[in-house]
Amino acid sequence: MLKKYYFDYSAATPVDQRVVKAMEKYSYLIYGNPSSLHEQGRLARQALEESRQKIANLLDVNHKEIYFTSGGTESDNWAMLGVARGREKDGKKIIISSIEHKAIIQPAKYLQEKGWQVDVCPVREDGLLDLEKLEKLIDKETVLISVIYANNEIGVVQDLPLIKKIIKKKNSKAYLHTDACQAVNFLEIRPEKLGVDLMTINSSKIYGPRGIGALYIKKGLQIEPLIMGGGQERQARAGTENVAGAVGVAEAMDIARKISVAESRRLYFLREKIISTVTKEIKDVYLNGSRENRLPNNINFSFAGIEGESLVLYLDDKGIMASTGSACGASDLDPSHVLLALGRKKELAHGSLRITLGRWTSEEAVDYLLEVLPVLVDKIRKMSAIYK
């Protein structure tokens, strides 16, 4: 049987078995509602609060600053819409980068329709935020700036402390939110060190369960709830708490942080091997985004003359699972907004391949990929009506 190789860790990570084990008893042994007064309720409450504390410790923040949500999308939506509602009287301006996740772009569009001024700050050719433009865009009415920490498609890592410095200079009251979904496995994530006021965390990208995430909200920020009901999460996010999920994401994050340095080093080596070999062996290939300021597990190429979906499906036929850009992009036909933001021509933006590495990516898998990829690129180019 054909061996299968998974190269799509930025779309979803398998749940670590240690995480599954940690969660297990919170399905059938401890099942109470954390709001209940009896023993079952108290045990559930204890597990929930211990998980919150564990995450707070890893971020070096107070436990009251961690709010559990249903995942990255909800956290992003909440940061945008919640701050907008909370700060409407201070100004109606928001800035987002041109390479934000759709979970930021869509609420930004919604706010725009409701009369907010939303400015999109461009990135440079290498994917790093254009800081001069950012400085020009911020004024006294800017209430929120959202910049993705490590981009999900191209893995480019932004210099958040420097961004915060610029924000402070122009408007010390403006909040900085970052989507750190892809960053937790590898990068510095303590909000104090990064200068962020709100931070999105997603369990499903860090080998944790689906359907849970968190939003770090610095103490004292003006933010309104998005989900209203029974007053859970200290009146900020209603809904019966997902205790097993909270236990799972805390455990997942704990493991991720413990091995982060060693994993970064191991994957950096594999990433560099892929980039050097592919750019050497295949003609007319472009690395999308900075090579230096990049997640150790992300590779994103554009191949001239090739449409990304064809390459992904040919790879799948050989047992290699990768993607064209974001998994969300798999079902729409438009080229990636991230690649277009870098200034890539549309035909090259159509020809992208994202390879993302993770905890179970072996060197053997990488060698197999490097053996198969040039052959398939050649095969598709031979058919291509635009490649010469």
Partner 1 sequence: MSELKSNDVVGWIYSDIVKDHFLHPRNFIEGEEPSWEWNGKGEMGSPACGDVMKVWVQINDGIVENIGWKTFGCASAIASTSVMSEMIKGMTAEEAKKITAKDIVKKLGGLPEKKIHCSVLGDQALKKAIEDFETNN
Active site residues: 328
Q: Does residue 319 belong to the site contacting partner 1 (CB under 8 A)? A: no
Min dist CB 324 to partner 1, Å, is 10
Is 228 a binder of partner 1 (CB under 8 A)?
A: no
Helix or strand (DSSP H, E) at 117:
strand 117-121
Size of interface with partner 1, in residues (CB under 8 A) = 21
> Contacting partner 1 (CB under 8 A), which of 307, 327, 370, 372?
307
Give yes or no for residue 375 binding partner 1 (CB under 8 A): no
24/378 with CB nearer partner 1? 378
82's tokens = 């919640």
Whole-angstrom CA distances from 295 to 103, 158, 362 are 20, 10, 17
Residue 230: both structure tokens together: 């029974």
Residue 286 binding partner 1, by CB under 8 A: no
Q: Give the closest residue to 203 by CA, choosing from 85, 51, 78.
A: 51
Q: Helix count (H) and strand count (E) of the chain?
A: 13, 12
The residue (of 367 and 378) whose beta carbon lies closer to partner 1 is: 378
> What 3-state DSSP class applies to 8?
strand
Binders of partner 1 among residues 4 to 33 (CB under 8 A) are none
Instruction: Pick between residue 262 and residue 333 the one whose CB is nearest to partner 1.
Output: 333
Is 309 an interacting residue with respect to partner 1 (CB under 8 A)?
yes
76 and 103 in contact (C-beta within 8 Å)? Answer: yes
Q: Which stretch binds partner 1 (CB under 8 A): 59-67, 192-200, 365-373, 380-388?
A: 380-388
Report the C-alpha gap between 287 and 29 in whole angstroms: 50
> Interface residues for partner 1 in 320-359 (CB under 8 A)?
333, 335, 345-347, 350
Query: Which residues, numbered 88-147, are part of the site for partner 1 (CB under 8 A)?
Result: none
Report the C-alpha gap between 200 and 100 in whole angstroms.
Answer: 12
Report the residue number, 138 or 311, with the smaller CB distance to partner 1: 311
386 is an interface residue for partner 1 by CB under 8 A: yes
Q: How far apart are CA 234 and CA 232, in angstroms?
A: 5
**Of the two residues 2 and 262, which places its CB atom closer to partner 1 in the complex?**
2
Closest contact distance (angstroms) between CB of 368 and partner 1 is 19
Q: How far is the CB of 297 from partner 1 (least distance, A)?
A: 26
Helix residue spans in the chain (DSSP H): 17-28, 39-59, 72-87, 102-113, 131-137, 160-170, 191-194, 243-258, 260-281, 308-317, 337-341, 346-350, 363-383
| Residue 313 binding partner 1, by CB under 8 A | yes
| Sign of the torsion formed by the C-alpha atoms of 206, 208, 212 and 216 | negative
User: Interface with partner 1 by CB under 8 A: which residues?
Assistant: 305-307, 309-310, 313-314, 317, 333, 335, 345-347, 350, 382-388
